[in-house]
Structure 1
Amino acid sequence: MQLQILSSSLLDQYLLEVPKGLKEAFDSLKDAQLSTPNFSFYTSVATVFSSKIEGEEIDLDSYIKHKRDGISFQPDYTKKIDDLYSAYSFAQTTRLHEESVKESHKLLSKHILSKTWQGKYRTQNMYVSTDEGRIEYVAATPAQVSIEMQKFFLDIGLLLEKELAIEEVFYYASMIHLVFVKIHPWNDGNGRNGRLLEKWFLAEKLGEKAWFIQSEKTYYQHHQLYYTNIRLLGLEYPELDFDKGLPFLMMLVMGMMEK
């Protein structure tokens, strides 16, 4: 299997560090009693904590009351989270490929970006800065984005066709997340979409129980470490060293084993 952008270089080391019992832990996952035919508790957990990573001030209990019980809050309090919930719901019934990912971005960015840029790769330079105004990462150039995303989805297609052990599925799900946020293909919504993609790939390979994994909550609870581990790869896209990505790749599986 010749992957072009989703590096396998850390797989052997990753497999040595994954705790035993991953399959048993995954098989034990089940939906929450709060879920109904029209409401998913774990989708709410995912969307609330993924949004909180991006600085949204939203409380899980309040959002559950809003989404499950129809209690009204100010629209500004819930609209971006509702959009992300719609993107997760879409992914749960749709195959993972480039056009479906673009559609998921249209949904999650409805109240983040103008319609012109929803589901459209950026044509501007992109950098990530700190609150102090210091540049901490320079993403792929606009000319690189379409090329890198083509490689990205070709690799995903190969992985979806190949039989993988559960440990390998978790490895590549995390790698998909990491590579996506490093390419940074959208003008905004990259983090939200990257975390959704990670779980989407897991569900494609392992089934619907993957949607019960509380990965977004884990990343929020350790969000400083989450960003630190992403930064380990380097400052500029052409110079990234994915061989430094193991600390990030381990976060998903270790969070899963802690549950």
Structure 2
Amino acid sequence: MNKKLEILNDELLTEYCKLVDNNTLNTYKLLKESELTIDNFSFYTSVSAVFSSKIEGESIELDSYIKHKRFGIEFLPDYTQKIDDLYNAYQFAKSNSCNQENIEEVHKILTKHLLPTNKQGKARTSNMYVTTNDGRIEYVAASPFIVESEMNKFYTDLAFLLSVDLSVQEVFYYASFLHLVFVKIHPFNDGNGRTSRLIEKWFLAEKLGEKAWLIQSEKNYYLQHSTYYKNIRLLGLEYQSLDYSKSLSFLAMLPQSLIINEG
């Protein structure tokens, strides 16, 4: 790759390619849509929305959501609204290009019941701290004074990666890296995790085709959510001192999602 990336890097790519088998990655081509999917309902979009939401602490269960979305069984709005919003965000992404304008639109859709209207799709203007359940600070996100410049780098790299030919190993590597960098910048007031996981899947689909939407990455991250968060934390406590050389454990998680699909 001749062009130097502005915020992502390929420093771990050689090691990643040794660790992640190319034949395993290509099994995404064998994925098939569920028989539950019909014209106005996508089973795997439901899987994505439910498990991405469960990572964030939502109590929704996949079986209940399918009954709601596929068969019209009613639940209390508080139980389904946020997941419906995320489902709609995935549906929007499926028919639109992955770029800054549409990522901001996706954020508006998925935060319809998370944030006030004036915060939806808008970069935060205050400091952001990720805390533990007992109130301890476990991560200090990018300063609001540099969020715009860091996101400009992110979108520049995204556009470049979408414009060039990549091997399947490179596609998975950079999809995970986009996920990680986005969540580390933490550009929005809320919905950063949901958006980062959607961007990862979106990038895969742009590069590999529609079958990438069937990869159960969000379910994999939920089933390993302690490891998922541990691998994100490995990079450091503060944005300004993050060490992306410690990213390999996180980057290696996405390919494991293909095993989930086989089960």
Q: State TM-score, norm by structure 2.
A: 0.97
Equivalent residue in structure 2 for 1:139, among 137, 141, 144? 141
Q: Shift in Å at residue 11 of structure 1?
A: 0.6
Equivalent residue in structure 2 for 1:2, among 1, 4, 11? 4
1:76 corresponding residue in structure 2: 78
1:153 corresponding residue in structure 2: 155
Instruction: Show structure 1 runs of 4+ deviating over 4 A.
Output: none
* Unaligned stretches of 5+ residues in structure 1: none
Q: Does 2:125 match 1:123?
A: yes
Equivalent residue in structure 2 for 1:209, among 211, 220, 227? 211
- Counterpart code for 2:54: K
Distance in 1 between the 2:217 and 2:181 partners?
Answer: 17
Q: More displaced, 77-86 or 17-26? A: 17-26
- Secondary structure of the residue aligned to 1:142 is coil
Contact 1:47 1:84 in 2 (8 A): yes
Q: Does 2:245 match 1:240?
A: no
Equivalent residue in structure 1 for 2:227, among 225, 228, 232? 225
- Counterpart code for 1:149: M
Contact 2:22 2:169 in 1 (8 A): no
Q: State TM-score, norm by structure 1.
A: 0.98
Contact 1:50 1:220 in 2 (8 A): yes
Contact 1:25 1:257 in 2 (8 A): no
Structural mapping, 1:47-62, within 5 Å:
47-62=49-64
- Secondary structure of the residue aligned to 1:136 is strand
- Say how many residue pairs are matched: 259
- Counterpart code for 1:211: W
Distance in 2 between the 1:99 and 1:194 partners?
Answer: 15
1:192 corresponding residue in structure 2: 194
Contact 1:22 1:167 in 2 (8 A): no
Contact 1:215 1:255 in 2 (8 A): yes
Q: Shift in Å at residue 21 of structure 1?
A: 1.4
Q: Shift in Å at residue 26 of structure 1?
A: 1.1
Contact 1:18 1:253 in 2 (8 A): yes
Distance in 2 between the 1:78 and 1:84 partners?
Answer: 10
Distance in 2 between the 1:95 and 1:86 partners?
Answer: 15
Distance in 1 between the 2:202 and 2:168 partners?
Answer: 15
1:94 corresponding residue in structure 2: 96
Q: Shift in Å at residue 248 of structure 1?
A: 0.3
Q: More displaced, 21-30 or 100-109? A: 21-30
Equivalent residue in structure 2 for 1:25, among 24, 27, 30? 27
Contact 1:66 1:72 in 2 (8 A): yes
- Secondary structure of the residue aligned to 1:12 is helix
- Counterpart code for 2:105: E
Using the aligned pairs only, state the percent identity.
60
- Counterpart code for 1:176: L
- Secondary structure of the residue aligned to 1:151 is helix
Q: Does 2:167 match 1:165?
A: yes
Q: Shift in Å at residue 23 of structure 1?
A: 4.5
Contact 1:91 1:104 in 2 (8 A): yes
Contact 1:214 1:256 in 2 (8 A): yes
- Secondary structure of the residue aligned to 2:205 is helix
Distance in 2 between the 1:152 and 1:178 partners?
Answer: 11
- Counterpart code for 1:208: E
Contact 1:109 1:188 in 2 (8 A): yes
Contact 1:88 1:196 in 2 (8 A): yes
Aligned-pair RMSD on alpha carbons? 0.8
- Secondary structure of the residue aligned to 2:130 is strand
